[in-house]
Structure formats: C-alpha cells, structure tokens
C-alpha cells in the first residue's frame, strides 16, 4: 500500500514496479519489498519457538525444502502489485487493489503473467496445499479474500507507457528462484494441514508488518541500507534471546516486593514445580492467595526453558488490567530488566512510561527513550500488536480477537502462539465468551503453547470444558464436590476421553471464617446506608457492592442524605461511588482512590466505598465489613475475597475482627416478580445481570443467620451446590412450573450464546479455498462481549470532568442514545457547574455520580 504524508502527488511513475511511496518522489521497488517480507518471514521461522510450533502443527520436523517453499510463498505475498492498475493508481487516484490481483497472477491466464513469472509449473508440483497456502498469504492485510467468481480486469494487466508488467514479472520470478533455490528442487509436497494454513496466514501478516517498518526497511536504500531481518526481530523483541540472557538469579520475594526471606505458599510452590510437559492447567485458589505471583513464577520457568517467548496476562476488566500491570511490571524489571506493556486500546504504556501517536505512524514516549528502547516497544504502539509483546497485561478481549472472525485475527493468533497465556477469573466469562475462549485455549495448546486458567470459584463443568476433559456425572465414583480445593488440575488421556487429574494443595495456613447473614433490604437504600454508616462510625472499612449502577448511585445518595459528612470514597475531595460509567481518565482516579481507601496499606479509620462489580474483580482491596446484593455463588465468593483479604492485618476495629458479610435479598425471590432493577432474573428478551434465578435461590438457601463459611475449605462445596447444572435443574423442578420455565430460559439462552460464539470463530479445520465462506462477515458486528454495545461520546478538547481533571470521551450504553448521537463533536456538552456536564439533547448528565440519564446533581 502506498504511504502518504501530504497532499503532493508524484509527477511521473518510477522506471520499476513500486510497492510503497512517500512524497515528494520516493519509491520502494516491489522486488525489494518482497525480499524484505520474505527475509522477515524466514527470520521468524528461524526462531526456535516458531519452528517448534510449526513442527507441532505439521506433526514432524520441517525439512529445508518445506521451509524454503513457505518462504517463497511469503515472498510472493504482494505479487498482485505487478498489475498496471495498481502501478498507475497513485496518478489516477483509482481504487485498485493487489490481493485478488495476486491470485490472478498465478492462477488466471487472462492476467498474462504466468509464463513471464515462470513459477506456475514448479508451484503445481508442491502439492494440493499450495493453492490454500498462497490464499493464506494473500490474507496478510488482516482478512481472507474471495477469489471464486472474481474475473480479472483486462485493462489492469495491459502494458502502459513506461511500464510493462510482463518484464517486471520475469524479474520477480527469477528473484524468487534465486532467493529460495531449494524450494524449486525435489522435495515432499507441502503439508496439507488446515491448521498450518491459518498459522501461515498469521505469520505472513506478521512478517509483512515487520518488513514494512520504514525505520528498518527505508524506502530510499541509496541513503540508508536496510537492517537485517534477524537484527530487527532482536530489536523489537520478537527474538527474546537477549531478554533470556538477561534473566537474573532473583528470589521470589525480590520479584514481588515481599518482606525479605518470605517463602512461597504451597499453592505457588505446586505450580512452580508442575511438570513442564503439562501445557494446560487450572489453578483454583482463594482470592488474594497469590495466584498472580504463582503464574509469573511458572512463566519464568517456561521462559528459561525456551518453551515460551512471552507472557500475556488476561483479566476481565480494564481496571483490573491497569492495576495488575503495575505489579507485573515490577516483577519483570526485577527478573530481567524488561518492561510490561499495558494492552488496553486507547492507551500506550510500556513499563511506567506513556506514549502517544504522532502523524506518519510515529510514536512519542514521555521518558525520551534511546533508540534501542524505542524499538523494543514496538508491540505497545498499536492494539493489534499487543499479543506480540514479551510481557503484557490486558483484558481477555485481546485474546478473543485472536480467534474471532475479525480483522487481524490470524496476525494476533500467530503473535500469541509464542506466549504463556494466563487467564485470570475465568469464571467471570459468560457462555458466549466461554465458548470463544474454550476454542482459543484448546487451539493454543494443541499447537504447542502453554496456558493457565485461574479462578477462586470455578465450577466443575466449566473447568472440565476448558481443560478438554470428559465431564463427570453424578453417578461417577468421584463426585465434583469431593475434588480438592485449592487445587491444580489438568487433563490426561486420549483425545475426547481425557480425564481430569487433581493435585490437592495444603491450605492449613490460610483460613478465613466468614459469618454470612441475609437481610431482606435489597429495595431499601436508606436501610442499607444506615447499616454502612453504623459500621463506619465504629471504625470499619465498609464495602457496599450493588448489582446495578442505578442501585449504587441510590445507595450513595442515601448515605449522603443520612450524613452530609459521611466518610465515603472521594477523589480530589469530591465524594463519589465506584462503577463503570465514568470516563476512562476518571476511572483511573477512582481505582487509585479505592486502593488508598481500602488497599493493603490503607490507614485505619471508618470509611465507606459504595460500588458495583467493578470493585470485585482483581482490585487488591481489603474491607473490614461487607454488604452485598444477592448474586451467584461464584460471584459472591469473589466478593468475599475482598473481605479480610490480608490475614495478618491487626488494625481492624474490635467489632470487626471476625469477617462479616450481609447479603441483601428481596422480600420474596420468585421468577414471577420483576427484580431486574436489582440485577436479579431474566428479562423477556433474555437479558439481565444475573439471569439464573434458580442459582440465586440456591445461594439464598445456603445463607442462614449465623452461618459461618470457612474459606477456602467450603469453597468447593458452595460452588458445586450453586453452579452444578443438574443440581439447579432438580431444584427448579422441585420449586414448580414457573421456576422450571425460568430455568429452561436460562439454559436455552446460554446454549444460544455458546452457539453464537462458536459460529463467530475462525474455523481452523477449514482450508482456505477462496470462496465466500473464507471471508469474514462485513455486515455483522462480531464483538468480544454480547450485550456490551456502547457508543463513545467525545468531550470538547480541554474539558474537565467532575473531579477537575481533563476527560476526552465517555462510553454510553447503546440503548440509551440513538445512532445520530455518535457523530457528536463534543461541543454539545455544557457545564452548568464545575462538577457537572450535561448533553441536553441526549438527556445525559455526567457528574460525581457518574453518567446518568438525568440532569440533577
């Protein structure tokens, strides 16, 4: 593709076929670009890890002829730029492509270049897979292409003044033979593995992106020569040999900032010592028990052994990623002096330094790094490269984009192939996300990759599915409820008959007794506020978690109404709740404020944090007393993980030295009563926060006044009782027809979500054939999360939000506004006070309470 940095256009074309252009008159010859990308592809395959992945996929060590033939096909990726139509488009401004044209060069005589190129007959001897692999190479712009029924345009192949595509094709054909002589000699057919085709598509796209870096492969080679491809891979840390050599002999306590001499917990030691032959495992342990540190130690062991070249740590939310990034970055610095990248679209962060994009695909970094450090941050510069980072922390969405039928999925998948994939809080995924992640994890491991699934509350059915194991039935001799907890699990045996293996972990050191009581106050925010204030006045750090943002705001208002000076969460001296409907800049402030108020190092004293699910996922907070809405058992245990999180804390008020949790329930829990405003139950269209009312009823039954749950000993029993599909179906049948109907609606909805997820995946068992079935949907919005449609609304430049800091945009639930609002420029917002912004025509207000559909403060 031509590059352009201004309005000037060339007066005349160069005397050679070009691949890239920059004003005023700088051209990169096509034959040079093909060589750059071919070299980068070959350098990638020369990396031990990518070579190992290739061997796993084709089920044998690749021979030199096979490698050279793959390199030759990668070299030919842009052969369609020989077209006269493409060569002249920069003068005519015509929309002429080169991907379909690339297919025509090799496969359609009408293009008239087969004889001149002189490769067709040899390529036909490479086996049936050659055509599919070449089609995969043509997908290097991020999407597979359709060639069936697409006829060549004769005028696009005719010689024009100063350019003869036949002569150019002859030179490129000869260059291909010269570069890859073994490819055109005797040898085996190219492997006919469909997984190879999809892997190859991603590697060619990766090689094309790397080989198009003008800093390494300049357009004008008379001024500066190109960098060797192998050196480029080292510079951008695709080749991590220098990082591996820089590994230091550090102790775990030095990695994580623990007190000197701190020993590993049994769970951490168990994962560290787990056989390297086990490439997929599930780690179940209580929230706050150190799973993150265990995963990083496992990564270091795999990294030292050369079994992975990177780490991608996937978490459910952006807030969790931002917090975890700081911890992992500290460990990376201590381990080998590297940087952890924050893999969140809209952010550019490497280590502690932030960057921003400049015109011409350039990037500026706040810390003024030297050239070597700049190069090493290549993967942090744009979201599609995040998975190519040596170490990155981000949301699960980036992983899902490596498997869904979306642009650059093959690129992302090839980048991810080198990394240890760690997915935290896997229980937090819905049926759609689980179906997508299930396939991605299984493919990643099947191709030789390593992955770890982590959760405090993983049901046996979900765990078995993710591990690829046979699901146990109630009649099995080993009931799921008797599986050890905490535990490490993996699957062994033949495909489709794998059995789970559980390694129980000693837990005697870490126990937490939690008194759990039910209170029928879910509809009474003033009563909830009174309970929270009473505890705070006794010196307790009180965490109130509501299921919906509206109830969070109602509770925050009730607290302030009861006590104008209530010690609630505040940012820059301005009181506020914590939920998802804040601008990204303000969310960072909120997260920091929560950590200050309830983090490990927070000072003693009564205070209240009122929040939604945003405070339950991965934020390292420690409450003395918790009030929470009724929710599924796995979610409830996750929330309780934020209660008395740090065992050795001695500054808790006397009345709260024992952990106490009040669960807010409705007066009557029934599928025939609309409780959607509290996040309970399923709507007519299948929506809702916690839709399985039978599962909620099972939790309600587990809560009795004075009931004490011992964490983590009781976790397995509680989770299986509250999530096992057979148990819940039996409970619904016991409760009557309305419950059975509600249960069937939930099960059917989850099945439909899973089906949609699987339909949206790239099918790696399907060969590239150039038909319409190859193409990714253009008219369908394939998303990483169902029901998460949002509209981004801009604020005017230099707008300051309710906390006095600059804000750039805010996401609005899609059903709140019509499509026309998406074109707003930001000028529509007015500021009636320093703490409020109003978008009057859209009925939106942004204040210290977050985004609401009202104007009141």
Quote the CA–CA distance of 312 and 295 in Å, as a whole number. Answer: 11
Q: Which of 6, 52, 46 is nearest to 26 (CA)?
A: 6
Domains in the chain and their CATH numbers? 18-236 (1.10.3210.30), 346-382 (no CATH), 533-711 (3.40.50.300), 789-853 (no CATH)
* Cα three-residue angle 611-614-615, rounded to 5 degrees: 65
Q: What pTM did the predictor assign?
A: 0.92
Quote the CA–CA distance of 126 and 261 in Å, as a whole number. Answer: 60
Quote the CA–CA distance of 137 and 75 in Å, as a whole number. Answer: 9
Given a contact cutoff of 8 angstroms between Cβ atoms, the answer to whether 500 and 463 are in contact is yes
Quote the CA–CA distance of 53 and 449 in Å, as a whole number. Answer: 8
DSSP of 315-352: ESSHHHHHHHHHHHHHHHHHHHS---EEE-TT--EETT
CB neighbours of residue 153 within 10 Å: 17
Per residue, the 3-state secondary structure of 64-126, as one string, reads HHHHHHHHHHHHHHHHHHHCHHHHHHHHHCCCCCCHHHHHHHHHCHHHCCHHHHCCHHHHHHH
Given a contact cutoff of 8 angstroms between Cβ atoms, the answer to whether 272 and 413 are in contact is no
Quote the CA–CA distance of 262 and 241 in Å, as a whole number. Answer: 30
Phi, psi of 421 (to 5 degrees): -95, 115
Quote the CA–CA distance of 77 and 414 in Å, as a whole number. Answer: 17
Helix (H) or strand (E) holding 33: helix 30-46
For residue 11, what pLDDT is reported? 63
Helix (H) or strand (E) holding 283: strand 280-284
Per residue, the 3-state secondary structure of 509-578, as one string, reads CCCEEEEEEEECCCCCHHHHHHHHHHHHHCCCEEEEECCCHHHHHHHHHHHHHHCCCCCECEECCEECCE
Quote the CA–CA distance of 295 and 283 in Å, as a whole number. Answer: 9
Quote the CA–CA distance of 198 and 610 in Å, as a whole number. Answer: 47
Given a contact cutoff of 8 angstroms between Cβ atoms, the answer to whether 57 and 200 are in contact is no
Given a contact cutoff of 8 angstroms between Cβ atoms, the answer to whether 139 and 78 are in contact is no
Residues in the chain, pLDDT under 70: 1-11, 471-480, 507-510, 617-619, 705-706, 779-780, 787-788, 855-857
For residue 160, what pLDDT is reported? 83
Given a contact cutoff of 8 angstroms between Cβ atoms, the answer to whether 197 and 132 are in contact is yes
For residue 785, what pLDDT is reported? 75
Quote the CA–CA distance of 539 and 662 in Å, as a whole number. Answer: 17
850 DSSP β-pair partners: 847
Quote the CA–CA distance of 226 and 224 in Å, as a whole number. Answer: 7
For residue 477, what pLDDT is reported? 47
Query: In terms of residues, how long is the chain?
Result: 857
For residue 586, what pLDDT is reported? 94
Mark out the alpha helices in 369-517 (DSSP H runs).
Answer: 371-376, 396-400, 409-416, 431-446, 460-467
DSSP of 778-811: SSS---SSTT--EEEEEPPTT-B-TTSSB--EEE
Q: How far is CA 365 from the centre of its chain?
A: 24
Q: 3-state DSSP call for residue 269?
A: helix
* Cα three-residue angle 248-249-252, rounded to 5 degrees: 105
* Cα three-residue angle 288-294-296, rounded to 5 degrees: 115
CA atoms within 13 A on the CB side of 586: 33
Q: For residue 435, what are the CA distances in angstroms to 424, 426, 499, 748, 758?
A: 16, 12, 20, 15, 6
Q: How far is CA 540 from the centre of its chain?
A: 36
Quote the CA–CA distance of 53 and 59 in Å, as a whole number. Answer: 10
Quote the CA–CA distance of 515 and 193 in Å, as a whole number. Answer: 56
Q: 3-state DSSP call for residue 358?
A: strand
Q: β-strand 280-284 against 487-492: which pairing, if any? A: antiparallel
Given a contact cutoff of 8 angstroms between Cβ atoms, the answer to whether 620 and 287 are in contact is no
């Amino acid at each position: 593709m031509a590059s352009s940095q201004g309005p000037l256009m060339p007066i005349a074309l160069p005397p050679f076929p070009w691949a890239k252009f920059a004003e005023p008159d700088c051209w990169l010859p096509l034959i040079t670009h093909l060589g750059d990308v071919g070299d980068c592809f070959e350098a990638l395959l020369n990396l031990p890890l990518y070579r190992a992945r290739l061997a796993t996929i084709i089920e044998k060590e690749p021979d030199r002829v096979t490698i050279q033939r793959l390199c030759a096909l990668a070299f030919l990726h842009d052969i369609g730029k020989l077209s006269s139509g493409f060569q002249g488009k920069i003068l005519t401004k015509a929309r002429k492509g080169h991907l379909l044209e690339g297919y025509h060069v090799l496969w359609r005589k009408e293009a008239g270049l087969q004889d001149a190129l002189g490769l067709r007959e040899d390529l036909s001897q490479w086996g049936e897979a050659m055509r599919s692999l070449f089609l995969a190479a043509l997908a290097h712009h991020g999407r597979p292409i359709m060639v069936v029924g697409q006829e060549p345009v004769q005028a696009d192949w005719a010689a024009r003044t100063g350019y003869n595509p036949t002569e150019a094709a002859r030179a490129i054909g000869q260059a291909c033979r010269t570069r890859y002589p073994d490819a055109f000699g005797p040898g085996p057919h190219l492997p006919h593995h469909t997984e190879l085709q999809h892997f190859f598509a991603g590697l060619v796209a990766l090689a094309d992106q790397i080989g198009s870096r003008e800093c390494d492969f300049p357009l004008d080679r008379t001024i500066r020569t190109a960098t060797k491809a192998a050196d480029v891979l080292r510079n951008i840390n695709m080749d991590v040999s220098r990082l591996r050599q820089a590994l230091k002999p550090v102790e775990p306590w030095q990695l994580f900032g623990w007190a000197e001499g701190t020993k590993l917990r049994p769970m951490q030691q168990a994962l560290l010592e787990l056989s390297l032959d086990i490439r997929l495992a599930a780690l179940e342990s209580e929230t706050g028990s150190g799973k993150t540190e265990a995963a990083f130690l496992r990564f270091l062991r795999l990294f030292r052994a050369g079994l992975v070249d990177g780490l991608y740590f996937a978490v459910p939310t952006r807030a969790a990623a931002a917090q975890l990034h700081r911890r992992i970055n500290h460990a990376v610095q201590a381990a080998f002096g590297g940087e952890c990248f924050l893999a969140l679209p809209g952010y550019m962060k490497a280590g502690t330094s932030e960057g921003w994009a400049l015109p011409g695909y350039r990037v500026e970094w706040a810390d003024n790094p030297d050239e070597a450090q700049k190069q090493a941050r290549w993967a942090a510069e744009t979201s599609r490269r995040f998975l190519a980072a040596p170490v990155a922390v981000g949301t699960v969405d980036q992983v899902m984009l490596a498997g869904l039928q979306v642009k650059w999925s093959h690129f992302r998948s090839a980048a991810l192939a080198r990394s240890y994939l760690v997915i935290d809080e896997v229980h937090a995924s819905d049926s759609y996300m689980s179906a997508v992640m299930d396939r991605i994890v299984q493919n990643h491991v099947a191709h030789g990759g390593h992955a770890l699934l982590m959760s405090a509350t993983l049901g046996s059915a979900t765990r078995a599915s993710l591990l690829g194991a046979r699901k146990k039935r109630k009649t099995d001799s080993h009931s799921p409820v008797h599986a050890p907890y905490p535990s490490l699990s993996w699957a062994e045996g033949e495909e489709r008959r794998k059995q789970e293996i559980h390694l129980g972990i000693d837990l005697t050191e870490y126990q937490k007794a939690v008194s759990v009581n039910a209170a029928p106050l879910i509809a009474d925010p003033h009563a909830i506020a009174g309970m929270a204030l009473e505890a705070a006045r006794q010196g307790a750090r009180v965490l109130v978690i509501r299921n919906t943002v509206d109830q969070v705001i109602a509770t925050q208002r009730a607290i302030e109404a009861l006590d104008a000076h209530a010690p609630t969460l505040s940012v820059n001296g301005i009181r506020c709740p914590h939920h998802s409907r804040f601008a990204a800049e303000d969310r960072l402030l909120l997260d920091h404020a929560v950590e200050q108020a309830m983090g490990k190092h927070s000072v003693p004293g009564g205070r209240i944090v009122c929040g939604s699910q945003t405070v339950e996922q991965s934020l390292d907070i420690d409450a003395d007393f918790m009030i929470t809405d009724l929710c599924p058992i796995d979610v409830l245990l996750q929330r309780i993980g934020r209660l008395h999180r740090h065992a050795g804390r001695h500054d808790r008020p006397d009345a709260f030295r024992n952990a106490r949790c009040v669960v807010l329930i409705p007066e009557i829990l029934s599928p025939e009563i609309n409780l959607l405003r509290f996040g309970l139950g399923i709507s007519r269209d299948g929506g809702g926060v916690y839709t399985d009312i039978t599962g909620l009823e099972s939790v309600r039954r587990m809560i009795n006044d004075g009931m004490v749950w011992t964490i983590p000993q009781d976790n397995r029993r509680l989770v299986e009782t509250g999530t096992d599909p057979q148990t819940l179906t039996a409970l619904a049948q016991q409760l009557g027809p309305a419950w059975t109907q509600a249960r069937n609606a939930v099960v059917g909805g989850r099945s439909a979500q899973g089906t949609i997820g699987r339909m949206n995946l790239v099918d790696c068992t399907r060969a590239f054939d150039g038909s319409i079935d190859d193409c990714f949907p253009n008219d369908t919005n394939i998303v990483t999360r169902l029901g998460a449609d949002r509209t981004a609304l801009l604020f005017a430049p230099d707008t300051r939000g309710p906390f006095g800091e600059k804000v750039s945009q805010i996401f609005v639930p899609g059903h709140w506004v019509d499509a026309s609002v998406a074109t707003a420029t930001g000028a529509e917002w007015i500021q009636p006070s320093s703490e409020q912004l109003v978008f009057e025509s859209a009925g939106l207000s942004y204040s210290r309470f977050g985004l609401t559909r009202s104007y009141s403060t």
